Chains A and B, each alone.
Chain A
Amino acid sequence: MTFDEGQGYVVLATIAVPLLAALILVFTPGSQKMAVRYISAVTGAILAALSIYIFAAYQVGGDQAQMNLRWTWVENTAFLGENGIALRLAVDGISALLALLTGVVAFAGALASWKIEYRNKDFYILYWILLAGVYGTFFAYDLFFFFFFYELAVMPLYLLIGVWGSTRKEYGAAKLTLMLVGGSVLIWIGIFAVFHQANIGTFDLPSLWAAGQNGTISPTAQKVIFPLMAVGCGVLAALWPFHTWSPDGHMSAPTAVSMVHAGVLMKLGAFGIIRLGIQLLPEGAQFWMPALMVLGTVGAVYGATAALTQRDFKLISGYSSVSHMGYVLMGLATMNTIGITGAVLQMFSHGVMTALVFLMIGALYDQAHTRDMKEFGGLAKVMPLWVIFYAIAGLANVGLPGFSGFTAEFHIFVGTFRTYPVFGALAIFAAALAAAYMLRMFATVFFGPTNPHWKDLKDLTPLERLSGAMLIASIVIMGVWWAPFIDRVGHTVTLLPGVTG
């Protein structure tokens, strides 16, 4: 295992920078709204740069965990044993890709929140705390800190949605928080059970993974604990039937929060299934994965069908997220290299794509104050750039070749057909539904007769263009030059226990 101290601090910086930004903002006077915005924009830029660096510096084919950093937190106490709890951070191929996603979306979201006037300082404080939690979860190699950061990423959502949201915001915020924390409760119980079963007196994840793989955590126990972990994390990944917070939460959330939430946070759930399910409880994963496949497929088809019947833009995207996260879960459930690789790519692809969609919805809603699809028409004449951006997101959503969605979904479908052909066919059916709701949207909103009521709408602001362009760049790069993405993820996936070629 390489211990690269210098790079280890880069990883730590991704957590420290947003926390530091939050701290600086606490001491910034609330009346200095521009200062708050500039601080946040700079923070976003730094995070994006750090993330790109981590992604680029990750050595393909090297050791599994790279850029290690370990800081002892509590050790040598009676029941935590010699290693106890340590803030151990490291990067593998999966987290390198997801960190890249987080950097891009975080920067784009920070720019998208420029327009917030009401208590914008408080908004950004919570926003950066949330992102510190996201980075921490992706990099944590310690079970305790994994959960710590996971919770840290979930909690600010309550206030972010409750205070700055719209459309039944209190209901959405409360439902989302309670369901997600309910999931955390299951994870927490699972953590107690794992720690107690492994009985090696440490929260160090690699040690616990070893314990899970060599049978120190008995197969029976793994089968009992796995559902706790999978459902607990699955709630955040919009696992059907625990997805119901997702449409409501997305509908209520402010633009940047929708972007970060659908773009990044939901991936924490799927990531948790990899870390706490496949890696920690391989026997349990083998046993339960068919069930996950069923639920994932139901989610994919159900989400697409539900999206087809909605009129609110955000609800369409909320349900389409359920559908796309269903693909991710299907990919994970294949338990073969290509399927899981596809799932991770889909996490990235859906992240940037959905962030772009929510950015566009926000840009429209800020002016029109409605999100009812039926009220619009012919926007291509009024807001051409907006339509182009939205169309790119839509096409990526459908999985058109040349965009990230294609790369990802192709891998998932191939993986699924290998083990579960019937479910593969259903998934493709869901993809066809996605094409249907996207085309319906194109037809009614972008083209058709122009509603004169909207003729004064302004096109995208420079900031929205910048933040949209970054996301589009990510979508296109992954769509046409996917080698760097697949190399990083694929190598890590082959090292996962229980994964077949």
Chain B
Amino acid sequence: MRDYALFVPEYIACGVALLVIAIELFAPKFRKDVLAYLTALGALAWFGAGLAFLDRDPKSYQGLFLSDDFTSFFRLLAAGIVFVVALMSAEFLKRQRGVDHGEFYGLLLVAGSAMTIMAGATELLTAYLALEVLSFSLYILVGILKRDLRSNEASLKYILLGAFSSALFLYGLSLVYGSAGTSSYAGIAEAYARRDSGLDPAVVVGLMLILAGVGFKVSAAPFHMWAPDAYEGAPLPITAFLSTLSKAAGFALILRLFSSAFVTDAETWRWAFLALAALTMTVGNLIAIQQKNLKRLVAYSSIGQVGYMLITIAALGYGDAQVGLNATSGLLVHLIGYIVTTLALFSALTAAVNRTGSEEIAGLRGLAETQPFLALVVTASLFSFAGLPFFAGFATKLFLLQGATTDETIWVVALAVLNSFISLYYYLMVIRQMYLFDPVGDASRYRVQPVLWGLAAVLLVGILFIGMYPGPAFELSERAARPLFDAASAAAAARVQAH
């Protein structure tokens, strides 16, 4: 049945997107920052509508899209991210000339909706289309500072490499479709389980191409080349958006795709994810040490974080549904912690950059004197990334790695722990600038815009809350992860009956 009601939250998001674009188009004199608050309100409404879908029985839209707790989880995440990024942009965009605010905010909402669809997609083309909607929104957002050459360059690189990876992904999809004869996840799983000859080379090539495509989207090494440039060139709030929403969306797609459609060929792809994880975390953390620019540092550090997350996908390919469930809930809870931390970091950085105009690490020099609160938020975020106690990263990284630990993955887990040690080094280098050095030039204290201050404060509380009492976040994650494996066990049961 065509159950259009499944998309009510996205109707709200896209409706607000059209509204803000229309306002700018037909009322050019309208105050621009009101658009940001309108977007934030829209995101709140979207979030509220999303809450109503939690805890409902899974419903499918024509076998293309499944509305279950997993989808709802990512819908809430998307709404939350858009809310924060819209508020963050309000002050930031005021200082930039030649930006179309309506488009900017509209695209945020569209990209968020695309993430929901990616999470809920149960059919290859739906997933692909959602991925492209997300990517196109991001291409434009990265290059939205039209008069900034770095932004232009970043956008161009991103588009070219993105198009290339899309092509790989699409080619992979077509090979899978060709070998399975269907594009629905359940159908593929069934077709592959029924197949009695050995492994088809086309399937292997298809899987690896798909892996390369999604690896690009979440910026896993060696497909990460675009990330530092895109991060550096994009406006600061969009860098935050890139490093949270696009990664979460990528993992949403990977999780559902690999836990359902390709589960029978787990042995083929799990080693690839394991290698990808080990390479990604090491490359990300080692290169991060050399960075001078804050955004590039965050880019490489987030590549490192992706490396940790990829271990769970490898663990998904091991053992039974229980291991998969553990790994997936660990990944989801880490995503929550990672997103809250990243957004807190960027709220503080946006406030600091609004003042100093410098995006270099050295630009933070003496921040503890001139703005102790921002210095505190940045420190808390970096400590959280490094996984120190009291902060979200400690608890969520523990759950992530604990969930992903199996006999075969334990060496990568050990590597991940070593890597988080390396990461502490470059985080300390940033903290050092803020606390151990005196500010350059004007050393007087300055005030932060109330919106950014409030945002940073709320997110800081979030970091501490998840760090000290991760129970609620963890339960939410586990609830979100369960449908994937309920379906998997149901499919396995169906396969057994079919034989």
Chain A interface residues toward B at CB < 8 A: 73-74, 77-80, 133, 144, 147-149, 151-152, 155, 158-159, 162-163, 169-170, 174, 177-178, 181-182, 184-185, 188-189, 192-193, 195-196
Contact = CB atoms under 8 A, between A and B. Distances in A.
A224 to B, nearest CB: 11
B417 interface: yes
6 contacts: A74-B471, A79-B322, A79-B403, A151-B388, A151-B389, A152-B389
Given A151-B388, A196-B405, A189 B417 contact: yes
B474 A77 contact: yes
B150 interface: no
B92 interface: no
A181 B474 contact: no
Interface of B: 322, 325-326, 329-330, 383, 388-390, 394, 398, 401-403, 405, 407, 410, 413-414, 417-418, 420-421, 424-425, 428, 431-432, 435-436, 469-471, 474-475, 478
Contacts, number: 81
A196 B420 CA distance: 20
B394 A163 contact: no
Contacts of B424: 177-178, 181
Given A78-B325, A79-B326, A79-B403, A185 B417 contact: yes
Contact of A78 (B322, B398, B425, B428): B322
Given A77-B475, A151-B388, A189-B414, A195 B402 contact: yes
Nearest to A119: B368
Nearest to A144: B398
A177 B418 CA distance: 15
A155 B383 contact: yes
Contacts of B413: 189, 192
A81 to B, nearest CB: 11
A144 B395 CA distance: 10
Contacts of A80: 402
Nearest to B325: A78
Contacts of B435: 159, 162-163
Contact of A182 (B407, B421, B469): B421
Contact of A185 (B405, B418, B428): B418
A148 B401 contact: no
Contact of A188 (B390, B417, B469, B471): B417
Given A152-B389, A185-B418, A189-B413, 9 more contacts: A73-B469, A78-B329, A151-B394, A155-B389, A162-B432, A163-B436, A178-B428, A181-B421, A192-B417
A78 B478 contact: yes
B414 A192 contact: yes
Contacts of B326: 78-79
A133 B388 CA distance: 12
B388 A192 contact: no
B274 to A, nearest CB: 16
A182 B424 CA distance: 10
Contacts of A189: 413-414, 417-418
A133 B405 CA distance: 27
B414 A177 contact: no
Contacts of A170: 432, 436
Nearest to B469: A73
A192 B383 CA distance: 21
Contacts of B407: 196
Contacts of B421: 181-182, 184-185
Nearest to B401: A192
B402 A79 contact: yes
Contacts of B420: 185
A117 to B, nearest CB: 15
Contacts of B471: 73-74
Nearest to A136: B389
Contacts of B329: 77-79
A245 B445 CA distance: 35
Nearest to A151: B389
A362 to B, nearest CB: 21
B474 A74 contact: yes
B405 to A, nearest CB: 5
B35 to A, nearest CB: 36
B305 to A, nearest CB: 17
A77 B395 CA distance: 14
A169 to B, nearest CB: 8
Which of A73, A174, A181, A188 counts the most B-chain CB atoms under 10 A from its CB? A188
Nearest to A173: B436
Contacts of A184: 421
Given A144-B398, A148-B394, A185-B421, A174 B428 contact: yes
A196 B410 contact: yes
A158 B410 contact: no
